[in-house]
């Protein structure tokens, strides 16, 4: 896990243009793969989309994801329950031995609040990093730039707006540490 965070505890931000030709093509490919996986449960399509073996990764359909390739990196022995959403334009890294509950959302894109900037297609992205041995409860929303430290548990329904340290229990909206392990 990296320590290259800004003063708010968020990982670095980079520019993103959703309507450029390459991102549009990548999203189209990912959407086709998600339709196939969600209707058949065929994990081979995910191996091809994410370009990694996924032999010890369990993903329950339906799954929603708008990018493949190296934008999501799965560790070993990862379990992802049904109806999770990945918006990984900025990258999502999931460590080993991670459990992710149903309906968890990973959002890496930051859209401008000024409508004139937004309609120009300008945006930025920040990666999300999930450490090893993390447990994320159902319905959690993880926002851009967040890093969740090793061995942490995030309670169901939490909205994670900033990074959470290792070995603790964190809950709420916004998510905050209620106990260190």
Residues marked active site are found at: 111
Residues 6+ apart with CB under 8 A from 3: none
Residue 62's CB is within 10 A of a number of other CB atoms, namely 15
C-alpha to C-alpha distance for 13 and 108, rounded to whole angstroms: 10
What is the C-alpha end-to-end distance of the chain, expressed in Å? 19
Q: List C-alpha distances in Å: 165 to 73, 76, 108, 149, 176.
A: 20, 21, 19, 5, 10
Two tokens at 103? 């309906």
The answer to whether the beta carbons of residues 97 and 77 sit under 8 Å apart is: yes
**Residue 72: both structure tokens together:** 């999501």
H/E stretch holding 12: none
């Amino acid at each position: 896990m990296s320590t290259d965070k800004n003063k708010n505890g968020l990982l670095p931000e980079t520019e993103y243009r959703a309507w450029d030709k390459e991102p549009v093509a990548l999203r189209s490919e990912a959407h086709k793969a998600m339709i196939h996986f969600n209707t058949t449960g065929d994990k081979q399509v995910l191996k091809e989309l994410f370009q990694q073996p996924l032999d010890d990764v369990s993903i329950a359909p339906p799954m929603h994801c708008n990018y493949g390739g190296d934008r999501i990196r799965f560790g070993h022995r990862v379990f992802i329950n049904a109806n999770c959403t990945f918006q990984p334009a900025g990258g999502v890294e999931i460590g080993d031995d991670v459990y992710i509950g149903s309906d968890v959302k990973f959002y890496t894109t930051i859209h401008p609040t000024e409508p004139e900037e937004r309609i120009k297609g300008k945006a930025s992205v920040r990666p999300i990093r999930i450490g090893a041995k993390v447990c994320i409860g159902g319905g959690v929303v993880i926002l851009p730039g967040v890093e969740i430290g090793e061995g942490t548990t995030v309670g169901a329904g939490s909205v994670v707006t900033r990074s959470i340290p290792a070995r603790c229990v964190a809950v709420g909206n916004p998510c905050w540490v209620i106990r260190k392990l």
